[in-house]
Structure 1
Amino acid sequence: MSEEYNSDNLYEQFAQVMGQTQDLVKKMEQLQAKIIAISEENVELSIENKHLRQVIKENQPQRNKDQLSVSRQNLKELYQQGFHVCSEYYGKRLEPNESCTFCLDAIFGHDQGMMK
C-alpha cells in the first residue's frame, strides 16, 4: 500500500508540475506577444522619427557652418572695402594693410547666442 500511495503522490506531483509548466508556457506566449508588439511599434516609430527628421532638415534654411549669414557677409564686404566693422572703431577707415582682430571677430566670430 505504501507503494500505491507513493505512486499516487508521484502522479499528483507530476500533474502539479505539468500544470505549472503549462501556466509558464502560457505566460511566456503572452510575454512573447507583448515583445513582438513593442518591437513592431519601435520599428514604426523609428521610421516615423527618421521621416520627421528628414522633413525638418528639408524645411530648415540650408546654411553650412563655414557660410556666413547675410549680415556678416555685409560686414565682411565693408571690411574688405577698408572700413572697421567692430564696435570699437566702426566706420573708421583702416590703414593700408591694417587688419583688426575685433573686426575679424565681429565677422567670423561665434554667434552671440552661443557665447556665455
Structure 2
Amino acid sequence: MLDKQEIYDQFKNLEGQLHAMLAQFADLQGEMTQALEQNAELEIENQHLRELVRELQRTLPEDPETPQGLSKSRQILEKLYEEGFHVCREFYGTRRKQDEECAFCLEVIYRDQ
C-alpha cells in the first residue's frame, strides 16, 4: 500500500502532466486556427488570380507572338507581375511587397528573349 505522501506526489505529478498537456493543446489549437485563416486567405487570393488570368486572356491579342516577342502565356505572366504578384516558382501567387523587383519572376517572363 502507498503511503499518503506517495499518493500526494503522484497526484501532483499527474496534475503537472495535465497542465502541460493543456498548454500543448492550446498551442496546437492556436496553430490550427492560424493555418485555417491562412488557408482561407490563400483560397481568396487564388480565386482573385484565376479571375485576373481569365480577364487577361480575354483582353490580350490572339497572336501567338507579340511584337516584343512574348507568347500569350508570357504576356499573362507579365501582366500578373505588373499587377504585383510573383510568377516565379519560389513565390508564385504571393504579393510582391512594395512592388519590389524579383529576378526569378523576370527570368520566367523574359528568358530566351
Q: TM-score, with normalisation over the residues of structure 2? A: 0.49
Q: TM-score, with normalisation over the residues of structure 1? A: 0.48
